[in-house]
Structure 1
Amino acid sequence: MPQLNPNPWFSIMLLTWLTFSLMIQPKLLLFTHTNLPANKTPTTLKTTPWTWPWT
């Protein structure tokens, strides 16, 4: 069963994760969000009950 041979696929997976961890992840962590949720003030909505016509 050739799919159980980890020889080529393990090195590809290892190289992919090293690339992600060392190059892509630091760039993503430096991204600043333009809309921070902590800066928003909570608003309370006034709800009115629905009047059913058959009650």
Structure 2
Amino acid sequence: MSKPIYEEVKIPVILTGGVKTGQDVENILNRKVCDLVGVGRSVFKDSNWIEKEIKPLI
């Protein structure tokens, strides 16, 4: 649902909701539907989420 907005506006678009893994983040960014992905709930549940899920992708 964010792709039409992403293509029309000239400001950063953030997509949130249902992001549970680093692979989810990578898949969303690869689809070119937003600039940033919000992962608030995942990080609240596990403060080491970034270390476990994102760092291995870099």
What range describes the TM-score normalised by the shorter chain of this pair?
A: under 0.3
**Greater strand fraction, Structure 1 or Structure 2:** 2
TM-score normalised by structure 1 residue count = 0.21
TM-score normalised by structure 2 residue count = 0.20
Greater C-alpha Rg: 1
Q: Which has the higher contact order (CA 8 A, sep 6+)?
A: 2
